[in-house]
Amino acid sequence: MSNRLWPVKQVCIFALIAFASNFNYGFSTTYINTSVDEFKTFLNTSLSRRHVIMTEEKYDLIWNVFLNCWFIGSFFGVWINSIFSERFGRRVGFLIGNSVAFISSILQCLSLIWYCPELLIVSRFITSICMAATYQSCILFLQECSPTHLRGSFSFLSEVSYSSMTMVGSFLGQDYIIGSHLFWLCFFVVPFCLFFTLILFILPETPKFLLISKDEEEEAIKSVKYYHGDGTDAKQVLEDIRKEAECEQDSSKSTTFQKMKELFTERHLRMALILSVSALTNTVGLWALLLSSTFFLENANVESEIAEWSTTAMGLAYVSGTITGGIVIEKVGRRKLLLLFTFLNNLALIAFVFFAKIRILIDPMKYGCLVALIIYGYTYGTGVGPISWFISSELVPQKHRSIAQSVAYSMNTVMVVISTFTVLPLYSVIGSYAFLILYSIPSFISMLILFRYLPETKGREIHDIVNELKKK
């Protein structure tokens, strides 16, 4: 292929990797939020066919199980992926996750045809496990296959694809689109799941796994040329990968348990884990704000018609932010972008609290809450979310990368569950001050840690970054 067309093909390859994970992940996160009434009708019809009377208490119980099984499945998914990725390769873990997710999407459609809420819950639970697993595989692929000078931009594609699909999910879930037809809404992802699963069969394994874990130099060279281009000096790329392997010479035969133990006992690995968890602390608030923005705005006395469009507006800002961040990250750098936009992200939250309180005295100030949420979405997409999710992969060597991801992501899942279950009851008691307690204060603490210890990783090989952490 000519040099002129190669950059386009390269972007397409990495975009396919990103969407292979996040097409279903992003869509499944949000489509149920705009089609709640249709799901309630489905549950009513399903139980009435069994001559069971639906009460508000039964509906709340079934709906809460349906919604919250996602977090439980995600927790298991991050650990399952670590096992498959380390033993069989990133590609195998990715393939298994996508294949099972495809089967699960079919089961979800069948549950609607058969009026079986139990199967609907089980299929969503299985999907959540697969999505957590494939998301990790996606980050590993983007990090380990990208050329060093494009690693940040290509890693941003994960968040671009995820944010785009959350917006598509919310849009298609509207009654006037296909939200009133649950079968077609759920069926929407089925052909795409099959397509992306088939695509993964033709993608080579990551060069780092092939060289470091499998010791297959010839296959690693082919992988480098596939992802970097035929004109790349593959030997030099492999040399840099070997230097990364030398950072952890004694870990070649380590078990998963030993690697996890080393994360807490080896100083540089422990520091990398602390930095990863600190960065992910800043992502916790997105779930509540993106999925419950209508509630928060109506609580601030914003008209229901306007509040209902807040999720779409915030989603658009989120997508715009990820595109902006992907363009500028290799110019600005991870450290500056993350710290700057985490600070601005916190200012947006504080602004929401301010406008929510001042509107009691000056009613038009309530619209400042909507503006604050839109700014929150944009600043999150530009730096906070994308970098926080992939920074752990740039701070640890290949041998510990998957297990470090699993530990950091599982801690983040616990934080999300706690905050998600806490924010609405706390908001009902103390109002918008709940944002300061649950999100702003922990975020400012994490910012101090990141400011003090986070190295700049832009344009640097992993072995160089790891050696810097060893000296801290």
Q: What is the mean pLDDT of each run of 10 residues along the chain (472 residues)?
A: 82 96 91 76 87 80 83 90 86 94 96 93 95 94 94 95 91 81 92 95 94 91 94 90 75 71 91 96 87 80 79 88 95 95 96 93 90 94 95 90 92 89 87 92 96 94 90 78
What count of other Cβ atoms lies within 10 Å of the Cβ of residue 297? 25
| Neighbouring residues of 70: CB distance < 8 A, sequence distance ≥ 6 | 28, 29, 124, 125, 128
- Predicted pLDDT at 97: 94
pLDDT of res. 34:
67
Distance CA 59, CA 65 (A): 10
Signed CA dihedral, 124, 125, 130, 133: sign only: positive
382 CB-side CA count, 13 A: 21
**What pLDDT does residue 224 have?**
95
Task: Give Rg (Cα) of the chain.
Answer: 22
The pair of three-digit structure tokens given for residue 99, joined into one six-digit string = 């294949």
Q: What is the greatest pairwise CA distance in the chain?
A: 71
**Phi, psi of 35, rounded to the nearest 5 degrees:** -125, 30
Local structure of residue 232 (DSSP, 8 states): S
Cα–Cα dist 96/92, whole Å? 6
- Residue in the structure block whose two tokens are 């503006």: 371
Those residues whose C-beta lies under 8 Å from the C-beta of residue 360, and which sit 6 or more positions away, are: none
DSSP per-residue codes, 333-366: -HHHHHHHHHHHHHHHHHHHHHHHHHTTTSGGGG
Beta strands in 227-275 (DSSP E): none
Domain 1-203 has CATH 1.20.1250.20: yes
Residue 204 token pair? 């080579």
Instruction: Report the pLDDT value the prediction gives residue 215, as an integer from 0 to 100.
Output: 87
CA 23 vs. chain centroid, Å, equals: 11
Q: What is the pLDDT of residue 464?
A: 92
Please state which CATH number belongs to domain 253-472: 1.20.1250.20
Coil, helix or strand at residue 199: helix
Determine contact, residues 326/337, Cβ cutoff 8 Å.
no
Computed from CA positions of residues 335, 339, 341, 345, in that sequence, does the dihedral angle turn out positive or negative? Answer: positive
DSSP state of 447: H
Give the contacts of 115 (CB within 8 A, at least 6 positions apart). 42, 45, 46, 49
pLDDT given for residue 203 in this prediction: 94
The first and second tokens of residue 314, run together, are 């915030």
CB 232 within 8 A of CB 225: yes
Angle in degrees, 0-180, between the axes of helices 6-30 and 151-172, rounded to the nearest 10: 40
pLDDT at 253: 60
**Contact by Cβ (8 Å): 51, 117:** no
Positions of CATH 1.20.1250.20 in the chain? 1-203, 253-472
Cβ contact 388:325 at 8 Å: no
| Number of other CB atoms surrounding residue 63 within 10 Å | 16
